[in-house]
Amino acid sequence: MGRLSLTFPRSLFNCLLGRAVTLCLLPLTLVTACGAEPAEPEAEPQHWVGKLLVDFRAATDALEWSDERIIGDWRVQRRPGTADGRILDPEDQPVASGSLSACLSQFAQLESTGQIPPVTTQAVIVLHGLGEGRQSMKPLAAHLQQELDATIMSFGYASPRAGLAAHAGSLAAVIAGLPQTASISFVGHSMGNLVVRRWLQMADTQTIARVRRMVMLGPPNQGSDLARLAAGNPLLAALAAGAARELVLHWETVSRDLRTPSFEYGIIAGGKGDQHGYTSLLQGDDDAVVRVAETRLEGADDFLILPVRHSRMMESEAVQQATLEFLKQGRFVTADSSAVESLP
């Protein structure tokens, strides 16, 4: 899930989870800051401090808005629970703001004048995890854009501001804005996979039929033991908001509305291939956030375990290549000898 991006006191909440229980699906970059070796600062202190502040503001902003329309790197966003909207250009700079309806209308005008390039016949929608923003998926999205003849669209949703149903509704709006002739594939990290599975519950069969394949990265398909640990802590449970609250306190309820994909899908889990994993907080193999057993989902067309931590999956070359191969062929093909397990 993410980086130090929630405003106080939820930044404290994320820090506690990232450091103590690494809440189900909250691999904030803070997890890296708290648990990994610190990055060396640049030679000029003002430079790295300034960059840190810019990244902090961008990450915080990403948790305030959800995408409602995406064409390439252009997007219309909505602040969850309101009628406020804005248009962002490919540099993530706001070019218009106001009511959502007005922004959608202006966006359509930009499309009609050719200022926004059309979607190709294939669209790959990439979804980040809880507490993250679209920036976290950039390494993987860039690799797919380079290797696939498709429009790669990174879907952003304000995970702390609303529940899974609302995020699935935003995804539905994005998909409705695509050409009817365009096929769709998904690549989800962590909670992003649950957003897709929740969308499947509300989507019509004709739209689902347009989906070709999906790759799940570290999905908490069976819930999260770390979330259950957090639920037992009154402070952490009280601070959890939006989709995090559902995972911590209401998994048994929300899981009833998660559908299993009817199209081809593969799962990549992080783990060491042993019974210890990356953290002593969890039993069995794990990626420091999600147990390998929790990623499994009946009906998967392929399953792969790679030695990578939850928050580093998108940066892993092995994960990137395996994702690419599944989108192309419907199975994982990797020459990486570090792969621990793959279903035939």
Rounded CA separation 21/33 (Å): 15
Burial class (CB in 10 A: 0-12, 13-18, 19+), 331: middle
**H or E stretch including 185?**
strand 183-189
pLDDT at 104: 97
- Whether the CB-CB separation of 123 and 178 falls below 8 Å is answered with yes
Sheet with strand 183-189: strands edge to edge? 151-155, 122-127, 183-189, 211-217, 264-270, 302-306, 341-342
| pLDDT at position 238 | 60
Q: Global pTM?
A: 0.81
| Token pair of 262 as six digits | 């009817």
Residue 310, sorted as left (phi over 0), alpha (psi -120 to 50) or beta, turns out to be alpha
Chain segment 141-151, per-residue pLDDT in tens:
999 999 999 99
Quick: pLDDT tens for 80-102.
Answer: 999 999 999 999 999 999 999 99
CB contact set of 336 (below 8 Å; sequence gap of 6+) = 306, 318, 321, 322
**pLDDT over 60 (residue 138):** yes
What's residue 294's pLDDT? Answer: 96
Average pLDDT, the chain: 82
Question: Lowest-pLDDT range, 87-96, 297-306, 326-335?
Answer: 326-335
Which is more confidently placed, 279 or 338? 279
